């Protein structure tokens, strides 16, 4: 038996009991295998664009004897996955732009019964913007720290409503309303990256003033009520 790290454990928490799961970019298939061993899912397709990760995934599926629940599929995003195979879709460990691209071209995700569990490694801001502009509602978002690094896991569902996405929402999502130490740390890391960009602008330019204002707001969000 093995345990998931905090990042994958948080993704697992968002998966509904007895759902049919698609794990996109599965690599070693730890997530679907762990969910199957723990009797949390009905079925899972562990997909990856490359053959080597799928070989590792198949070895783990065999090792833990969950081949009746988890199968592997070679697929770019969800291109080879029929909609009926997946109620809950996890896309974890990829950049926010790639995640957006995969969602964008999978038209069957525009269905209120499908749940997207998304864990961007980079450019979470671009993913949140994509979701707001394309009718996906972020219904939950939680932070975690794994091996000293901050992550956010986003739960989104399609409802067709195009939403505004101001800068604070782009960079912090629902974590701005969460008072946990993990959220504060996430916001502070994101803010540190934005502050580095300040040097690229002339001090009295509009871009500089706009970015400075944003970093000041994020400063107060990362400190507000912090324990
Ligand atoms: C860093 S691993 C993440 C593994 C696991 N999901 C996690 O979060 O720990 C990224 C995996 O995504 C796969 N990948 C990259 N682009 C993909 C795509 N367009 N479709 C499916 N898989 C992809 C890679 O081959 C790799 O195995």
Query: Which ligand 1 atom minimizes the distance to the CA of 93?
Result: 8
* Residues with Cβ within 8 Å of residue 78, at least 6 apart in sequence: 22, 24, 47, 86, 89, 102, 106, 108, 109
Mutate to test the pocket of ligand 1, among 4, 25, 81, 93 (most ligand atoms within 8 A of CB): 25
Q: Give residue 167 CA to ligand 1 midpoint distance, Å.
A: 28
Ligand 1 near 94 CB (within 6 A)? yes
* Ligand 1 center from residue 25 Cα (angstroms): 3
Domain spans of the chain?
6-164, 166-227
Q: Is the pLDDT of residue 224 over 90?
A: no
CA of 27 to the centre of ligand 1 (A): 6
State pLDDT tens for residues 140-175.
999 999 999 999 999 999 999 999 999 999 999 999
Supply the pLDDT for residue 57.
Answer: 98
C-alpha triplet 74, 59, 45: angle, nearest 5°: 40
The architecture (CATH level 2) of 6-164 comes to 3-Layer(aba) Sandwich (3.40)
Shortest-distance Cα residue to atom 3 of ligand 1: 93
Measuring CA to CA, which residue among 42, 38, 128, 37 is closest to residue 88? 42
Quick one: which atom of ligand 1 is closest to the CA of 76? 20
The mean per-residue pLDDT over the stretch 52-68 comes to 98
Mean pLDDT on 85-104: 98
Residue 147: helix, strand or coil by DSSP? Answer: coil
Sign of CA dihedral 64, 66, 67, 71: negative
Residue 225 has pLDDT above 80, yes or no: no
Q: Would the CB of 77 count as within 6 Å of ligand 1?
A: yes
Q: Give the tens place of pLDDT for each residue, 28-38.
A: 999 999 999 99
pLDDT at 196: 95
Helix axes 206-223, 181-197, angle to 10 degrees: 160
Q: Is 189 in the pocket of ligand 1 (CB under 6 A)?
A: no
pLDDT band for position 1 (cuts 50, 70, 90): confident
Q: How far is the CA of 122 from the centre of ligand 1 (A)?
A: 13
């Amino acid at each position: 038996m093995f345990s998931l790290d905090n990042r994958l454990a948080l993704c697992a928490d968002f998966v509904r009991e007895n759902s049919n799961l698609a794990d996109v970019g599965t690599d070693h298939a730890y997530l679907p295998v762990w969910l199957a061993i723990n009797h949390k899912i009905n079925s899972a397709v562990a997909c990856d664009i490359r053959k080597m990760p799928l070989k590792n995934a198949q070895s783990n599926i065999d090792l833990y004897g969950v081949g009746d629940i988890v199968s592997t599929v070679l697929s770019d995003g969800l291109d080879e996955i029929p909609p009926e195979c997946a109620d809950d879709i996890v896309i974890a460990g990829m950049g926010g732009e790639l995640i957006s691209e995969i969602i964008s071209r999978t038209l069957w995700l525009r269905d209120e019964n499908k749940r997207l569990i998304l864990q961007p490694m980079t450019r979470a801001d671009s993913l949140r913007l994509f979701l707001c502009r394309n009718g996906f509602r972020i219904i939950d978002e939680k932070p975690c720290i794994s091996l000293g690094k901050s992550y956010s896991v986003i739960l989104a569902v399609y409802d067709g409503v195009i939403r505004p996405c101001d800068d604070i929402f782009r960079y912090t999502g629902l974590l701005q309303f969460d008072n946990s130490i993990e959220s504060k740390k996430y916001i502070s890391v994101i803010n540190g990256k934005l502050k580095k960009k300040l040097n690229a602008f002339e001090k009295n330019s509009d871009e500089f003033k706009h970015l400075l204002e944003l970093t000041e707001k994020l400063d107060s969000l990362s400190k507000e009520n912090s324990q």
